[in-house]
Structure 1
Amino acid sequence: MPPFVPLAERIVDALLASDPDLASSVGEHGVDDQLPDRSADAVAGRVAMLRDAAHALSEVDAEELDVPERVDHAVLTALVDRGIFELTEVRSHEWNPLVYNPGPLLHALVARPFAPADVRLTSLAGRLAAVPDALATARAVLRDVPRIHAETAVGQFEGAAALVRDQVPALLAEAPGLRDTVEPVARAAIRELTGFADRLRAGLRDDAGPGRDPRLGRRLWEARLWHTLDTELGARQVLDSAWANLERVTEEIRAAAVELVGGPASDETVRQALTLLADEHPDNSSVVPLARTTLDEVRDFVADTELVSLVDDACVIREMPEHDRGVAVAYCDAPGPLEVAAVPTYYCIAPTPADWSAARVESFFREYNDHMIRNLTVHEAVPGHFLQLAHARRYRGSSRARALGHSGPFIEGWAVYAEEAMVAHGFGGLAVRLQQLKMQLRMTINAILDQLTHCEELSESDGLALMTGRGFQEEGEAAGKWRRALLTSTQLSTYFVGYHQVAGVAARRPTGVPVRQWHDAMLAHGSPSPRHLPELLGLDEDDLA
């Protein structure tokens, strides 16, 4: 049997060397001067490397490994298999222009001070110099781009150009000796990024056609779901469970609404209660300061209730960069588990676009009202993503496999579970509980919307009706989620499935073990697929699916 740890390390090295996106996400800086190469030859080479890795991993007798290494073997195998599937079956690089957006990789060097300015600028110069070739590959490879992906990419590529134009000079002021190296490639990159956005915009003219259908279809979506969830739970089981959960949470939010405003346990009473809460809302100038205030609130609450151990890592709240906008309202951008520098986590919130009407802006902030922002901060920061990922970075295994194979269902599942745990302990009172239940409805509908959109050709009108009706969402939120369902696939299902798996483990806390100790134990193993948690925690084996 080949020794697993040396094999795992060789595979990790190969994965990091061939994928700057992956390397950047986990905090490995060995290819900081590169952009991904998505040319036909490079993709073929990566697929061959992944297949070699899959074969080598299949030669390992995982049952002979101890528990942590057995989980690492499963995590690494799942990561490799998913990589093969994405490149050979989904083939996003052939139709999705968003995968060519260099903005996040440029922003990682500009905004995160993991090294002195001259070191980051030297790497940045390499990435900027690679922009023309990367976009030439995009122009050569992309075919039949879905209209909604092209529309979103226009804004993101213009945002990437703005990043280079507006933020690189400030970094150069810290290392002016590199101006002659950086400024020429920066100007060329701005021209290429702007030109690429113009090319996409030209493809959106009325006579250009709709492009390919952004829906994957059942066969491909179900296969991608299997890789995304890393569980044996089937698509039909997910959908049936989601509909059942929608009924359960609807009854709970009706009862909570009655507590707030009285009246019958009806949808009308829920709308009355949510309207009352929505009247208290921020605007573009106050939403980020409000989020900062709520971060202090949730930290104090977690400490007082001993819900989970806090960390002293920095969490910085700010507006979402332009190059990332158009998909989600907020996100947590944490240092990767391999990052060794003491750099902050960014909790980013997108302001409303400048071209939105006053009515649409009002609708957005009625959805993201004062009480919803408190719940959002729980999800994105404490004890949600920021805290969970900070705990995950402290895990050290015999190899780096766990650092690369972070599970979306675990990460999103923990954050949704954290919302529920906080209100169960009294955070925010009835107002935040109503918002948390509304988010439970949204999370559940996310899974339904994801599947029906890609597999059953759900119409936009029916999708919006589901969200605004059963989910009590504002029209602006529903419209944004419809776009997200078309722009992504299977990610919207990770919240629902992950929550049920993580909550299932939390419910199995042994008698006599304090809540904080159990939650700390759940977070002490990195971010593996939830199906591995019972074994890692020493519980009797159960099928969490």
Structure 2
Amino acid sequence: MLILSRCLIGLMMVFSLALVGCSKAPSEHAKIDINLAFDQYKQRFLEDFWQVSPEYALYSGRYEFAPRLRVNDEPARAADAEFIKAQMALLATFPLDELNATNKGDWAIIDNELRALQWRASTFKDYQWNPSNYNIAGPIGLILNTEYAPLEDRLMAINERLLKVPAYYQAAEANITAPALPQTQLAIDQNRGAIGLLEGGLQDAIKGSSLSKEVKQDLQDHNRRAIVAIEHYVAFLEQMLPTLKAGEAKDFRIGEALYEQKFSFDIVSEFSAKQVYEMATAEKAAIHLEMTKLATQLWPRYFSEAPMPEDALVLIRQVIEKVSLEHAKPSEFVAAVQTQIPALDAFVIEHDLMDTDRDKPLVVRETPAYQRGFSIASIEAPGPYDSAANTYYNVSPVDGLSPDMQESHLREYNSYTMQILNIHEAVPGHYTQLVHANKSPSLIKAIFGNGAMVEGWAVYTERMMLEQGYGDGQPELWLMYYKWNLRTVVNTILDYSIQVLGMEEQAALDLLMTEAFQEEAEARGKWRRASLSQVQLTSYFTGYKEIYGFREEQKQRLGEDFDLKAFHNEFLSYGSAPVKVIKANMRAQ
């Protein structure tokens, strides 16, 4: 921490000089000096942050941290606490009302990040009860798949990480004192996937490299020791399973107080978690009305002269079941996703909806085994320090499932829903937004991305694309859009109901399958996800409501001067900042 201490002293000197001559009404010159000092502080803050969070640095594109594996032991947590305390003290010296709009937003993001880290370590303490926090595969997979340096150099960085793997898992076993059952089962599954990476992809890379025979042998030795360490951790967790299943496990539900606290840190909304839950409950009823209208319109097309059900939910489900029969073959699911991306890109360009960048590659691939078990599709984007690297669109294949589960998944992700999924995950959703975020002049906003803004933007684009004419107004597409949007709404209801209100699995399945019209496989997967995470499932609806509401506010405020492309480009220019920070900046223009 000596480097950090010298840094803080230096920055305090800069800041003190900036304040020399200031009175109660500081001059414009002094204000500019304060902002210059804050810009210097932000640069130094990031450099010091990477020292305590090398994996975060790696995912942000700072590949010089690739050899460093953080071991979550007592000394590391003590260093974290010292870092947080020092940074919070320094941040407090900058008068918020004298910073410019960009720096006010960055100040708020840093402040929230520090307080969230402190809360997680001192109050939430998931390092003690969530065994899935410990998995060395992600960074190794990133190093293998990102050609930021020759393969041989990358393998040597992995070699340095492998040296610490035994200590990493020893610390994990020491930390896990009261595990929750779902997180324990996930940790077992994903760490088995990590073993698969070390035995498969890493072995292949070592063999295919031009490293000397001696260096390859050294790498193989370290790799074997790492595999043994992971196997020991998996066995350690498996030995706990009978006791956990017998009722000794920590409750995975975190309760209202912790939930509200986590919501405030993770979502950074103008609303409370309870308010968002109540909004979602009202939204569900409104969506059911729209779906009833569409199902009534489609009934004659699919059921000829058969009598229409009087129960609206039964009517909607029967029409959805018919429409859902149009889907890809199991072996072609991932390929079907891949072939649709160019059409979405062309629509965005043709309708001039926002700036795009065709030089930023998007690679559709099967989700690596060590990342499976959480969601069917996800975007893995490069950090702002390496924005030209590939963005991976991970899609979990279904051809390895049982025939019944295959059909259930494919009906859920039918030909219409798949279009909404690809809008959300790729164009102009996550992929497009994250390309813009990496161009943001504020590294703070790009690096510390707000989940509600990121997910909310993706949900917002689903509706925006249909509003702009994508799909030519097909009632089937609109029906499936509402079904998909209902998932966003019900995610919020489900997460709050499980984590705060104590909802059990069967009630959750009834909500998802009866009121959200989801297939059983999807519903069971969502229950699993809601038992593994907290708050994250609310980010979609919260961000969407805030973004869509703000767009409508701007349309009303600007009238004929409102331009959709300009709105999108400006909104995206603030990186992945919380929506309320972006709104404040745009309102100030």
TM range (shorter): over 0.9
Given candidates 52, 74, 90, the residue that maps to 1:40 is: 74
2:28 aligned residue: none
Change (3 A) 1:489 1:207: closer
**TM-score, normalised on structure 1?**
0.95
Question: What displacement does 1:538 show?
Answer: 3.6
2:289 corresponds to: 251
Residue 395 (structure 2) pairs with residue 349 (structure 1): yes
Give, in angstroms, the shift of residue 206 of structure 1.
Answer: 6.7
Letter in 1 for 2:209: E
Q: 2:255 aligns with which of 205, 217, 224?
A: 217
Contact 1:76 1:402 survives alignment (8 Å)? no
In the other structure, the counterpart of 2:531 is 486
Cα deviation, 1:147-183, whole Å, max 9, x if unaligned, reads 1111111110010111111111332213333413422
Deviation at 1:371, TM superposition (A): 1.4
> Displaced runs of 4+ in structure 1, greater than 6 A?
none
Compute the displacement of 1:353 (Å): 8.2
Q: Partner residue of 1:228?
A: 266
The aligned runs of 1:47-66 (5 Å cut-off) are 47-66=81-100
Q: Does 1:419 align with 2:465?
A: no
Question: 1:10-44: per-residue Cα shift (whole Å, max 9, x none)?
Answer: 22112111112321232222321122221122112
Deviations 1:392-448 (A, max 9, x none): 111123xx3223221001000000000011111222333222222112111111111
Structure 1 letter corresponding to 2:318: Q
Which stretch has the larger CA shift, 457-466 or 168-177? 168-177
Instruction: Identify the range of structure 1 (484-493 vs 227-236) with the bigger mean alpha-carbon deviation.
Output: 227-236
Distance between the aligned counterparts of 1:162 and 1:138, measured in 2? 20
| Identity level (%) | 27
Alignment partner of 1:381 is 2:415: no
Query: Is contact 2:55–2:65 with CA below 8 Å preserved after alignment?
Result: no
From the CA coordinates, give the structure whose radius of gyration is larger: 2
Q: Among 98, 109, 130, which residue is 2:143 paired with? A: 109
Structure 2 unmatched ranges of 5 or more: 1-14, 17-36, 301-307
* Higher alpha-carbon deviation: 105-114 or 429-438: 429-438
Question: Is the CA contact 2:334–2:396 (under 8 Å) kept in the aligned structure 1?
Answer: no
Matched, 1:174 2:209: yes
How has the CA–CA distance of structure 1 residues 207 and 69 changed in structure 2, closer, same or farther, with 3 Å as cutoff?
closer
* Aligned equivalents of 1:417, 1:232: Cα separation in 2: 18
Contact 1:9/1:401, CA 8 A, preserved across alignment: no
Tell me what 1:184 maps to.
221
> 1:307 Cα shift?
1.6
Inter-partner Cα distance in structure 1 for 2:288 and 2:427 = 26
Partner SS, residue 576 of structure 2? coil
Matched length: 536
Match of 1:196 among 233, 245, 266: 233
The residue number in structure 2 matching 1:92 is 126
Kindly report the root-mean-square deviation, in angstroms, between the aligned alpha carbons of the 2 structures: 1.8
Letter aligned with residue 395 of structure 2 = I
1:208–1:267 CA distance, 2 compared to 1 (3 A): closer
Q: CA deviation at 1:265?
A: 8.3
Q: In structure 1, what is the Cα distance between the partners aligned to 2:211 and 2:311?
A: 66
Q: Could you tell me which residue of structure 2 aligns to residue 543 of structure 1?
A: none
CA contact (8 A) 2:173 2:236 kept: no
Aligned to 2:367, which of 320, 323, 345? 320
Secondary structure, aligned partner of 1:335? coil
Distance 1:528 1:505 in 2: 15
Whether the 8 Å CA contact 1:333–1:348 is kept in 2: the answer is yes
Return the alpha-carbon distance in structure 2 between the equivalents of residues 208 and 424 of structure 1: 49
- 1:129–1:185 Cα contact (<8 Å) kept: yes
Structure 1 contact 338–403 (Cα < 8 Å) conserved: no
Q: How does 1:295-314 map to 2 (within 5 A)?
A: 295-312=341-358, 313-314=360-361
Deviation at 1:207, TM superposition (A): 7.8
In structure 2, give the amino acid aligned to 1:516.
K
**Residue in 1 that maps onto 2:3:** none
- How far apart are residue 501 of structure 1 and its match? 1.0
**Aligned 8 A contact 1:505 1:533 in 2:** no
- Separation (CA, whole Å) in 2 of partners of 1:112 and 1:257: 47
Question: Partners in 2 of 1:51 and 1:431 — Cα distance?
Answer: 55
CA distance in 2, matches of 1:207, 1:487: 15
Partner Cα separation in structure 2 for residue 70 and residue 473 of structure 1:
43
Give the structure 1 partner of residue 49 of structure 2.
Answer: 15
Counterpart secondary structure, 1:33: coil
Decide whether aligned partners of structure 1 residues 465 and 379 sit closer, same or farther in structure 2, where only a CA change above 3 A counts. same
CA contact (8 A) 1:37 1:43 kept: no
> CA separation in 2, counterparts of 1:461 and 1:404?
39
**Deviation per CA, 1:353-395, whole angstroms, max 9, x where unpaired?**
84x4321221111111121111111000000000000011111
Question: How big is the shift at 1:70?
Answer: 1.2
Q: 1:36 to 1:250 in 2, by over 3 A?
A: farther
Query: For the residues of structure 1 that align with 2:64 and 2:115, how far apart are their CA atoms?
Result: 24
Q: Could you tell me which amino acid in structure 1 is paired with residue 362 of structure 2?
A: C
1:461 corresponds to: 506
| Structure 1 Cα separation of the partners of residues 220 and 404 of structure 2 | 42
2:279 corresponds to 1:241:
yes
Find the counterpart in structure 2 of residue 515 from structure 1: 564
Q: Conserved in 2, the CA contact under 8 Å of 1:38 and 1:137?
A: yes
2:202 equivalent to 1:165 = no
SS at match of 1:228: helix
- Measure the CA separation in 2 of the matches of 1:388 and 1:13: 25
> Retained in 1: the 8 A contact 2:38–2:94?
yes
